[in-house]
Amino acid sequence: MDIAIKQKLGWGTANTVAVVIVAIPLLWIVSLSFKTPGAITDPSFWPAHWTWGNYSGILTSSTFVRPLLNSIGIGLIATLVAVVFASMAAYAVARLAFPGKRLLVAGALLISLFPQISLVTPLYSIERALRLFNTWPGLIIPYIAFGLPMAVYILAAFFQQIPWQLEKAAKIDGATPWQAFTQVIAPLAAPGMFTSAILVFMFCWNEFLFAISLTSTTSARTAPAALAFFSGSSQFTTPTGPIAAAAVVITIPIIIFVSVFQRRIVSGLTSGAVKG
């Protein structure tokens, strides 16, 4: 009995330490976002007077609202396309024999390790020539490419766990390989597709280097990039409060995601990469 209580206390302490380490930097940003412009220079952790002013400021300013919409739109489109393409490729990797399979897997691994900065200079030049610079597709296409490897790995691992027999049964019943894919395997694979979609969207939501390099105005700039170019809701306010408020706004979806889909995110992150 005593040992059980001691153990509980031990784990409780360890859990609490982990929670506090995560929470303090988050609460600091939340606190900053509620400070009045005058109170920014007061280093106390909590604001003396709470204000919604920073939030109403950024949510009525096009320098933040438009990038927020860009982030959502670009993230959703890139995620959708990446997951569809990745499902097709992962199905082939998991189920079909074809030449170049090893090359595809190695290529996907290489891209997941690729230093994005190496692509910034050539992509900047190519996108300007193709008039993709500072447009949605100009960010969506690179995001698809960098979301793909992760999604292919997760989905290929997922597809391998789906029982072969079902596909065979469908083929014996006269289904073509394509029908077996769309009508038997795809519905079974939906949870895996959903998991990879969450992770690809989180990647797009977070991405910063391409977002500042391949855009020049708010017409395509995403929220993290807009944050770095903030000058405050008016010329005379320091941008600390608005930046903190914007940081909180773009963190809220992430907190909702990880609370609702914790299990899926953990399984997705660990399924594809770590079979080695």
Partner 1 sequence: MTTSTETVAVAAPPQAPAKHRHRHKKPQLSDGARAERRLGLLLCAPAVIVMIGVAAYPICYAVYLSLQKYNLALPSQVKFVGLSNYGAVLSSPYWWQALKVTVIITVFSVALELVLGMALAELMFRTRFSRGLIRTVALIPYGIVTVAAAYGWLYAWTPNEGYLSALFNNSAPLTSTVPSLAIIILAEVWKTTPFMALLLLSGLAQVPQNLEKAAMMDGATVWQRFTRITLPLMKPAILVALLFRGADAFRIFDNIFVLTGGGHNTYSVSILGYDNLFSALNLGIGSAISVLIFICVAIMAAAFIWGFGAKAPGSDLAK
Residues between 176 and 195 that touch partner 1 (CB under 8 A)? 177-178, 181
CB atoms within 10 A of CB 99: 6
Q: Which is nearer to partner 1, 23 or 48 (CB)?
A: 23
Cα–Cα distance measured from residue 229 to residue 73, given in angstroms and rounded to the nearest whole number = 20
Q: Which residues contact 146 (CB under 8 A, 6 or more apart)?
A: 111, 112, 114, 116, 203, 207
Minimum distance between the CB of residue 130 and partner 1, rounded to whole angstroms? 11
Q: Are 111 and 149 in contact (CB under 8 A)?
A: yes
In the complex, least distance from residue 164 CB atom to partner 1, rounded to whole angstroms: 14
Compare residues 61 and 230 and give the one whose CB is closer to partner 1. 230
CB 68 within 8 A of CB 250: yes
Contacts to partner 1 from residues 202-241, by CB under 8 A: 202, 205-206, 208-209, 213, 223-224, 227-228, 240
How many residues interact with partner 1 (rule CB under 8 A)? 109
Q: Which position among 3, 49, 62, 99 is part of the footprint of partner 1 (CB under 8 A)?
A: 99
By CB under 8 A, the residues from 37 to 96 that bind partner 1 are 40-41, 43-45, 85-86, 88-89, 91-94, 96
**CB under 8 Å to 195, separation ≥6 — which residues?**
154, 158, 261, 264, 265, 267, 268
Report the alpha-carbon distance of residue 192 to residue 194 in Å, rounded: 5
Dihedrals phi, psi of 41, to nearest 5 degrees: -85, 10
By CB under 8 A, the residues from 126 to 155 that bind partner 1 are: 126, 141-142, 144-146, 148-149, 152-153
* Amino acid identity for residue 219 in this structure: S
DSSP code per residue over 36-66: -GGGGG---SS-SS--SHHHHHHHT-HHHHH
Give the DSSP letter string of 220-255.
T--HHHHHHT---SSTTS-THHHHHHHHHHHHHHHH
- Amino acid present at 72: I
157 binds partner 1 (CB under 8 A): yes
CB of 52 vs partner 1, minimal distance in Å: 19
Contact between 243 and partner 1 (CB under 8 A)?
yes
- The span of 55-63, 120-128, 131-139, 188-196 binding partner 1 (CB under 8 A) equals 120-128
Residue 174, SS3 per DSSP: coil
Binding status of residue 116 toward partner 1 by CB under 8 A: yes
CB of 60 to partner 1, least distance (A): 20
Site pattern 5..44 for partner 1 (x: CB under 8 A): --xx--xx-xx--xx-xxx-xx-xx--x-------xx-xx
Among 68, 72, 104, 175, binds partner 1 (CB under 8 A): 104
